[in-house]
Structure 1
C-alpha cells in the first residue's frame, strides 16, 4: 500500500489526488451527480487521473443554461486550484493563484480542462451579451475577463472552504494505491480506483454541503461579487 510508495512518488500522487478531488468536491457541492475517482502514478512521475461527473441535467430556461455553464466552468477550475493547496496540516489552506494558473495553462494534464473552460466561457459570454458584434474585440476581452474573475473568485471560495474535505479524500485515494504487477518487466506503476459507491460511504463525502453557484452578493455573469 502507500508504505511501499517512494516518498517522491507519494508526494506527486497527493498533488494529483488533490486535483481530482477538487473536481469531485466542487461538482458534488454544485449539484452534479458524481461517480468514481481514479489515479495512476508511475515511479518516473507520469500520471493519469479522473473524476467521473455526470453532465446530464434538466435545463428548462436560458437562466438555467447560464447557471449550468457557470457551474461546469467552476468544476473545471477547481482541479488546478485544489492541486495548489498546501499538504502540511498546519499550513493555511489557501489557493496559490499564480501556480493554479500555470497548472491550467501548462502541460501537466490540466490543459484539457483549460481548453474546455475557454470554449464554455465564450458560449456563456455569447448568451449573456447576444448583441455584441464579433469585431468588438476589446469589449469581448473585457467581458470575458470580468466573467472569469467572478467565476474564479467563487470557485476559490468553495475550494478554500472545503479544503479539509479535499485533503481528506485525496489522502484516502493515495492510501488505496497499490503497485501493478506487469508481466515481463519491473512493476513501476501505482494505481487506485475508488468507485462511486465506495466514496458515498465516506463520511467526508456525506458532509459535502449543497452550495449555490452564487452567494447573495453574486448574481450571475452580469454582477461582480462584492
Structure 2
C-alpha cells in the first residue's frame, strides 16, 4: 500500500517511524522489555505513534535507581534523535542536533518526551547531589546541565551507532501501512500495528546489542 502513498506523506511517515523505532531500539538495547510499535498518519500530515516499553525493573540500590533514570532519559532522547537522523547519501548517519532539539522542545512534536526528561534529570540530580542547598540556584543549574549534556551525548552516540537498525525498522513499519476503511467513504488515514511478537521474529531485532548504562554522579 505504501507505494500509493504520496511522496510527501511517505517521507513524513518515515520520519515518525524513525522516531518510534529509535525509542524501541534504544529501550531494548538498554534492557527494557518492549512490546509493539504503532503508527498512524493522515493526508494533512497529522500523526500518532507509539512504542510499547515496560518500565517495570528491579531496583535494589541507589546505583540501580541512577542507572534506571539515566536509561529512561536516553530512551526519551532517542526518539527525537532518530527522527533527526540525516544520511545525505553518506555511509554514516548522523543526528541533526539542531533538529533534534527543535523536536524535543515542541516545534516538531515530542514535547511530552522533553517534559519527562526535565523531571527525570531533577530526580537524577537529587540522588547524585543529596547535600545541595536548595537556594544554590547556580550550582543546581550547572549540575542539571552536566547531567543533561552527558546523557544527550551518550544517547547521540548510541543512536548513530544503531542508525542502520533504526532506519531499517522504520522502513519496515512504513511498508506495512495500509489505508483505513471508513464505511465506504474516502479515507485519508494510513496506519500500521507491529505487535511485540511480530517484531521479535525480525532478525534486525534479534541482533540488537545489549548496552550498559554507565551512571556517574
Q: Which residue of 1 aligns with 2:178?
A: 178
Aligned to 1:16: 16
Q: Where in structure 2 are the equivalents of 1:78-97 lying within 5 Å?
A: 78-86=78-86, 90=90, 92-97=92-97
Specify whether residues 14 and 87 from structure 1 end up closer, same or farther in structure 2 by C-alpha distance, changes over 3 A only: farther
TM-score, normalised to structure 1's length? Answer: 0.93
Q: Assess if the C-alpha contact under 8 Å between 2:87 and 2:94 holds in 1.
A: no
> C-alpha separation between the residues in 2 aligned to 1:106 and 1:60?
35
TM-aligned CA distance change 1:196 to 1:70, over 3 Å = same
Q: With structure 2 as the length reference, what TM-score do the two structures score?
A: 0.97
Unaligned segments of structure 1, at least 5 residues: 215-219
CA distance in 1, matches of 2:181, 2:68: 42
Provide the aligned C-alpha RMSD in A: 1.2
CA apart distance, 1:88: 5.5
| Displacement after TM superposition at 1:186 (Å) | 2.0
Structure 1 residues 206 and 88: alpha-carbon distance in aligned structure 2, compared to 1, 3 A threshold: farther
Q: Which residue of 2 aligns with 1:197?
A: 197
| Structure 2 residue 209 is matched with structure 1 residue 221 | no
Which residue pairs with 2:40 in the alignment? Answer: 40
Whether the 8 Å CA contact 1:40–1:189 is kept in 2: the answer is yes
- Pairs aligned (count): 217
Partner of 1:115: 115
CA distance change for structure 1 residues 42 and 87 in 2, over 3 Å: closer, same or farther?
farther
Paired residues of 1:87 and 1:167 also in contact (CA < 8 A): no
- 1:64 corresponding residue in structure 2: 64
Q: What does the per-residue CA deviation read over 1:37-89, in whole Å, with 9 as the maximum and x for residues that have no partner?
A: 00000000000000000000000001100000000000000000010112665
Cα distance in 2 for residues equivalent to 1:3 and 1:184:
22
Q: Using the alignment, how far apart are the partners of 1:149 and 1:90 within structure 2?
A: 26
Preserved contact between residue 17 and residue 39 of structure 1 (Cα < 8 Å)? yes
- Give 1:98 deviation, angstroms: 1.0
